Amino acid sequence: MNLITSLSRSILLRLFIVNLVLGCLMGAGFWFAARTVFATTSPADILEVISRTPELQVWARKTAPLLDLVKTWFYPALAGLLLLMTLVQWLVLRGGIKRGIRKSGIADPSPKTAPAKKREKQGDEKPERESAGREESKRYYLHLISVLQRQGRLMDFFHEDLSAYQDAQIGAAVRSIHENCAGAVKKTIAPAAVIDKPEGQEFTVPAGFDPAAIKLTGNVTGDPPFTGVLRHRGWRAGRLELPVLSASGDPLIIAPAEVEIQ
């Protein structure tokens, strides 16, 4: 059961209870009003007055069918009117809830309710799909490291003891690693700046900015737009073209060991 269905049922039940209480109060009010009227004037007195007045006799004959109709259908009509009011109120509130949830992004109100067997099957498959998705994400993460290792020997550089080398030697080695890894990164993800402006310049952050793309630091008060100094341009992936994952072998292997047979 999704969020909208749950809220709709809860609101419908509450509206029905409130309108039911309201209908009972209205019916009791009419009953007590009629009882009060007939307590002060008996039906016999009313009939006696009508019998003495020809105009009232004509009026009584004309209104008698209407009074019988009201007497018979008053409470059913009242119940139908309250049910109609409940339905209209529920539809209006349900539409408002749908619009609010769509704007807030809390839940997707559009999915259809699947048959029971299908829901059970999907419920069983969902944890498996989530687990497979997490494992695939881990593999892609290691796969990118594997690409950098294959192109630029990045893992070898990270595990090298640099204390035994002079700065000039380290610089020469880093230049090669930098060029090869940079080429691999450009080929696979094509990084581009989030804000394509020189760092150190003044920049205005507009209203409605994406907090995942722009991080605000310093004295942040009030509402955007904000004006500050661009300290880092940020990076975003222009594309993602990793090589196809291998279906066989240990997925935790970043780079295979190499053995030269003599």
Determine which helix (DSSP H) or strand (DSSP E) holds 5, and give its type and residue range. helix 3-40
Average pLDDT across the chain, whole number: 76
What would the mean pLDDT of 215-240 be, rounded to a whole number? 90
Query: For the segment 99-108, what is each residue's pLDDT rounded down to a tens digit?
Result: 766 666 555 4
Ordered DSSP codes for 40-60: HS-HHHHHHHHHH-HHHHHHH
Q: In whole angstroms, what is the distance from residue 167 CA to residue 69 CA?
A: 106
Q: Which pLDDT value is given to residue 64? A: 63
Residue 1 pLDDT level (bands cut at 50, 70, 90):
very low
What would you measure as the largest C-alpha separation in the chain, in angstroms?
A: 135
Q: Rounded to two decimals, what is the model's pTM? A: 0.41
Q: Which pLDDT value is given to residue 187? A: 84
Q: Which pLDDT value is given to residue 50? A: 62
pLDDT at 206 exceeding the cut of 90: yes
pLDDT at 109 exceeding the cut of 50: no
Query: For the segment 132-141, what is each residue's pLDDT rounded down to a tens digit?
Result: 667 666 677 7
Q: Is residue 11 within 8 Å of 90, Cβ to Cβ?
A: yes
What would the mean pLDDT of 192-209 be, rounded to a whole number? 92
Q: Which pLDDT value is given to residue 205? A: 93
pLDDT at 39 exceeding the cut of 60: yes
Query: For the segment 45-85, what is each residue's pLDDT rounded down to a tens digit?
Result: 666 666 667 776 666 666 666 666 666 666 677 677 777 87
More confident residue, 196 or 125: 196
Q: Which pLDDT value is given to residue 165? A: 83
Burial category of 75 from C-beta neighbours within 10 Å (exposed 0-12, middle 13-18, buried 19 and up): middle
Q: Domain ranges in the chain?
A: 3-103, 190-209+224-246
Residue 23 pLDDT level (bands cut at 50, 70, 90):
confident
Q: In whole angstroms, what is the distance from residue 227 CA to residue 28 CA?
A: 67
What would the mean pLDDT of 91-95 be, rounded to a whole number? 76
Residue 203 pLDDT level (bands cut at 50, 70, 90):
very high
Q: Is residue 225 within 8 Å of 206, Cβ to Cβ?
A: yes
Q: In whole angstroms, what is the distance from residue 189 CA to residue 239 CA?
A: 5
pLDDT at 208 exceeding the cut of 70: yes
pLDDT at 185 exceeding the cut of 80: yes
Write b or e for each residue in 167-196: b if 16 or more Cβ atoms lie within 10 A of its Cβ, otherwise e.
Answer: eeeeeebeeebeebbeebbeebbeeeeebe
